[in-house]
Chain A
């Protein structure tokens, strides 16, 4: 379960996120939508403990990420907007580093690394240096490190960006297969992605949460079956509010 309570972030006088409260129950795959600059990335960074909120708190499985960062961070797999990769390292050594920090050792570590390499389709490049990989492969390495050690909570900032259509389908089915057991938040601009893999949505505009709930319920509220229409009218309404 992920809980945000009155999360607020100001950069000087600039408001990035204001008073965002939501609760994402276990097993949910939540699509996080909003225009560029609406505060999606800042929200995700506050949930993962990278950014310190100006006000409010983020709870991962009930643990406050600012108060007990180590305990909470052990439960999170995070793919930031730019995949955080060390270009000098080989894919296998990079995953080895992340696995060790996530507390895996010995045989268990090796099995986990093999698992994410095959789930993210990295077999062919496992022993290549990250600097020599294509954009799609880099994105997949980013996803692989996020799902290492089977975290209870996955936070993915635009996970399918830069992938080709086939890769997109593969990653979508991977994310979908992770749901049910895990809580996933993923941000995206592709609405079709949300309808195909998410069961809930959150729409954010100008730092405020304007819609949150099961996709069907939100669609009913707007009297529309097209998520596109819902999104556009939510954003324009949110702008006036």
Chain B
């Protein structure tokens, strides 16, 4: 536990003494803020027009028209940026030859993996918490439903954690950070979009829908907490961490 904490602290220090964390966090805030601005401006135009039409205005919902699209867009930005955050975690240890220290200190592979994973998750938490001031601002002037916003955040966090665990695995495969980032980005995008196959084939339709990120996230932005969705993200994360562990164990024989 203490060793995991030591690794996590080290990774966080490296994140924040190099441009990586600052760039990833600020670009996320820029993109998410831009999307939020466009979505909410559009909504306020709509509600101005709806002022004359009681039927239309009774159907206007901040949750429907602002929060759901915002969380879906923010999720795509996470898909773009989190591989940049995770790419260095193992690749750089190999390139800098610091893994020779890491693997000869009294540490277990589990401690190393968890420490690195938790450091990236901490940065993710900072990223999404930093959006709360503007996301919760409409609550001061209107009465949207709170629950779907909270579950939306839970969704972003779970989705981001899965991306991180896969990114960690990608980083353990190579000593080239770019390769790690491109690989995790491409595979995560594929997993996101794999449900498209259900449009053209009925083969394993339910399975394809189940393994895609897409449907599971959708439910959460609507305020629906389904244990199947939570279990999906947790299992995805565990599989990513386990694959990383397997890579470290196999690589032990090649050193």
Q: Which A residues are closer than 8 A to B by beta carbons?
A: 45, 48-52, 69-70, 73-74, 76, 78, 80, 82, 84-90, 93, 97-98, 100-103, 105, 129, 145
Could you list 5 examples of A-B contacts with CB < 8 Å?
Answer: A84-B100, A97-B6, A100-B3, A101-B106, A102-B106
Q: Which B residues are closer than 8 A to A by beta carbons?
A: 2-3, 5-7, 9-10, 13-14, 17-18, 96-108, 252-253, 255
Given A52-B255, A70-B108, A85-B98: A100 in contact with B103 (beta carbons within 8 A) = no
**Which B residues touch A87, using CB under 8 A?**
96
Give, as a whole number of angstroms, the nearest-CB distance from B148 to chain A: 40
Give, as a whole number of angstroms, the nearest-CB distance from A21 to chain B: 22
**Which A residues touch B9, using CB under 8 A?**
97, 100
User: Is the CB–CB distance between B105 and A89 below 8 Å?
Assistant: no
| CB-based closest 6 A-B pairs | A84-B101, A100-B6, A73-B106, A80-B100, A84-B98, A48-B104
Task: Report the bound CA distance from A51 to B96 in whole Å.
Answer: 17
**Which B residues touch A90, using CB under 8 A?**
17
Given A52-B253, A84-B97, A87-B96: A76 in contact with B6 (beta carbons within 8 A) = no
**Which B residues touch A50, using CB under 8 A?**
100, 103-104, 255
User: Is the CB–CB distance between B97 and A80 below 8 Å?
Assistant: yes
Given A88-B17, A89-B10, A101-B3: A49 in contact with B104 (beta carbons within 8 A) = yes
Choose from A70, A80, A89, A97 the contact partner of B106 (Cβ within 8 Å). A70
Task: Report the bound CA distance from A212 to B252 in whole Å.
Answer: 29
15 further A-B contacts with Cβ under 8 Å, apart from A80-B97, A145-B101, are A50-B103, A70-B108, A73-B106, A78-B100, A78-B101, A80-B100, A80-B101, A84-B96, A85-B98, A86-B14, A88-B18, A93-B10, A100-B2, A100-B9, A101-B6
Given A78-B104, A97-B9: A88 in contact with B14 (beta carbons within 8 A) = yes
**Which A residues touch B253, using CB under 8 A?**
52
**Which B residues touch A70, using CB under 8 A?**
106-108
Task: Report the bound CA distance from A49 to B99 in whole Å.
Answer: 12
The residue in chain B whose Cβ has the minimal distance to the Cβ of A78 is B104
Choose from B13, B99, B100, B104 the contact partner of A76 (Cβ within 8 Å). B104
Question: Among A48, A76, A97, which residue has the most Cβ atoms of chain B within 10 A?
Answer: A97
The residue in chain B whose Cβ has the minimal distance to the Cβ of A54 is B253
